[in-house]
Amino acid sequence: MQIGSNIFKYNDTIFRSGGYGFWETRRLLTFYDFTTNEWEVVKSSNHGVEKFNHLNTVKNSKSIFFGGYSKQESLSSIENKSTSVYLFDFKKKEWSNLGNSKYHFSSIDRIIDMGDDKKLIIRKNLNDTIFLIKPFENKIEFYRSNSFTNSVVTEINLKSYYKDSTFFL
């Protein structure tokens, strides 16, 4: 029911946002409850955004969700790029619409987490551009790739991450 949902951690809890299933895009924010061994819905004062294959960053008690796709509620296979940017405040249990992004990203892109609140996105097919996404600063920095990053992009199963100023592959 939440195919393509965004799975992330906040504190010591596993969350899932959005996803697609039963011919509709979900706006659910769920968490895994280890006492019941079930996914439970996070109760909030308002609704989030319907997305799947989207990204998020976490900082302090807030998470920003961006990119991804949505589908019209039908049997149509047409996927629409989602440019909306939403914030969820875990303390207030409230969603906020932050507007739209000029650029589209999704979980299908080659992503390296640079800590919880930044993402490095490498796109070989877009003029070999590397994007450093900083949603909490409302910034995107652009860099050119080189032969090293191009070889990393071609290996889809290569998991990489950034810690203590070093990239690990």
Would you state the pLDDT for residue 113? 84
pTM value is: 0.85
The percent helix, strand, coil of the chain (3-state, each to 5) is: 5, 50, 45
Task: Give residue limits of the domains in the chain.
Answer: 1-108, 109-169
pLDDT tens for each residue of 14-46? 999 999 887 778 888 999 999 999 999 999 999
Helix, strand or coil for residue 136? helix
Domain 1-108 indexed as CATH 2.120.10.80: yes
What would the DSSP string read from start to end of 65-134? Answer: EE--EEE-SSS---EEEP-EEEEEETTTTEEEEEEE-SS---TTSEEEE-STT-EEEEETTTTTEEEEEE
